[in-house]
């Protein structure tokens, strides 16, 4: 049986979340920032983990890598060694661009999925994907009105969740992600979602919010904002 990656970020919620049927072994990586909003869960079976602590910069990072058994520990080591110098190497650049450059350090390894999670003062996580399909799905719970952004390598995630709770969820499928990084600043995303939800009204408001979110998180990773 193939082992899939599952992760979710709660963008909006005022009551406890209803667990997904396929998320049978998730763990909260970041604590809640505002009630139930901001909770972040990750399930990466058989991943190699490495801790990177940078107290002077307020960063406590965990690196999770899935690849073939030989490459995964090497990738975790390369990423762990590169992270302490990343900010200095690309001072003033966006985190998304830094993540893109980080991927160039491991461009000879394929396929892989790496998640870099910072749990310190300003929680965020990076997802690095190469030669693997990563599915992003926006999930709206019609019962408790919570909103989650799910990322997974399981192409049948929607079908599996729908089979267990057929009428409960509305799904928004983002473009399939591969060969690029994603940067998710937890507090910024839930704040932006809150503002978008206030700006958009009507029966299609959630879908409009997901559409804006898609444009926001799928920015050009190769754009260097320092270049004038």
Whether 228 is in a domain gets the answer: no
Specify whether the CB–CB gap between 61 and 118 falls below 8 A.
yes
The domain total for the chain is 2
Q: pTM, whole model, 2 decimals?
A: 0.91
- Say whether both 126 and 136 belong to one domain: no
Domain enclosing residue 123, as ranges: 48-130
Whether 223 is in a domain gets the answer: no
- Say whether both 52 and 28 belong to one domain: no
Cα separation of 137 and 185, whole Å?
Answer: 17
Residue 28 forms beta bridges with which residues? 41
- Say whether both 33 and 141 belong to one domain: yes
Q: 141-182: per-residue pLDDT in tens?
A: 999 999 999 999 999 999 999 999 889 999 999 999 999 999
- Say whether both 154 and 168 belong to one domain: yes
Tell me the average pLDDT of the chain: 88
Question: Per-residue pLDDT for 33 more than 80?
Answer: no
- Say whether both 149 and 119 belong to one domain: no
- Say whether both 193 and 165 belong to one domain: yes
Residue 192: pLDDT band with limits 50, 70, 90? very high
Whether 16 is in a domain gets the answer: yes
- Say whether both 20 and 62 belong to one domain: no
Question: E strands, the chain, where?
Answer: 6-12, 28-30, 40-43, 48-54, 59-66, 112-118, 124-130, 135-141, 147-152, 169-173, 180-185
- Say whether both 83 and 105 belong to one domain: yes
Using the 3D structure, point to which of 73, 99, 130 is the last residue of a domain.
130
Whether 222 is in a domain gets the answer: no
- Say whether both 38 and 80 belong to one domain: no
- Say whether both 58 and 121 belong to one domain: yes
Strand order in the sheet with 28-30: 28-30, 40-43, 6-12, 147-152, 135-141, 169-173
Q: 77-136: per-residue pLDDT in tens?
A: 999 999 888 888 888 889 899 999 999 888 888 899 999 998 776 688 999 999 999 999
Using the 3D structure, point to which of 72, 96, 130 is the last residue of a domain.
130
Whether 196 is in a domain gets the answer: yes
Cα separation of 46 and 80, whole Å?
Answer: 18
- Say whether both 141 and 116 belong to one domain: no
Higher pLDDT: 3 or 64? It is 64
Phi-psi region of 47 (alpha: psi -120 to 50; beta: other; left: phi over 0): beta
Q: Please classify residue 37 by burial: count the beta carbons closer than 10 Å to its beta carbon, then call 0-12 exposed, 13-18 middle and 19+ buried.
A: buried
Question: Per-residue pLDDT for 32 more than 80?
Answer: no
Structure confidence at residue 206 (pLDDT) = 95
Whether 81 is in a domain gets the answer: yes
Using the 3D structure, point to which of 105, 130, 155 is the last residue of a domain.
130
Cα separation of 162 and 194, whole Å?
Answer: 26
Mean pLDDT of 209-220: 96
- Say whether both 193 and 172 belong to one domain: yes
Whether 210 is in a domain gets the answer: yes
């Amino acid at each position: 049986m193939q082992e899939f990656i599952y992760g979710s970020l709660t963008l909006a919620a005022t009551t406890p979340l209803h667990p997904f049927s396929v998320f049978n072994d998730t763990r909260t990586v970041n604590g809640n920032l505002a009630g139930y909003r901001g909770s972040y869960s990750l399930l990466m079976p058989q991943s190699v983990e490495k801790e990177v602590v940078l107290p002077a910069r307020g960063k406590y990072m965990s690196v999770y890598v899935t690849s073939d058994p030989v490459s995964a520990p090497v990738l975790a080591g390369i990423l762990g060694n590169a992270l302490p110098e990343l900010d200095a190497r690309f001072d003033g650049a966006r985190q998304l661009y830094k993540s893109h450059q980080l991927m160039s350090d491991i461009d000879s390894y394929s396929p892989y999925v790496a998640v870099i999670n910072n749990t310190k003062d300003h929680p965020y996580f990076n997802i690095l994907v190469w030669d693997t399909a990563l599915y992003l799905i926006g999930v709206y719970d019609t019962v408790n009105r919570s909103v989650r952004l799910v990322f997974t390598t399981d192409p049948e995630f929607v079908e599996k969740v729908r089979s267990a709770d057929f009428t409960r969820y509305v799904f928004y499928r983002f473009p399939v992600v591969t060969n690029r990084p994603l940067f998710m600043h937890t507090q910024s995303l839930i704040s932006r979602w809150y503002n978008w939800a206030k700006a958009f009204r009507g029966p299609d408001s959630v879908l409009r919010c997901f559409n804006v979110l898609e444009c926001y998180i799928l920015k050009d990773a190769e754009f260097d904002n320092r270049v004038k």
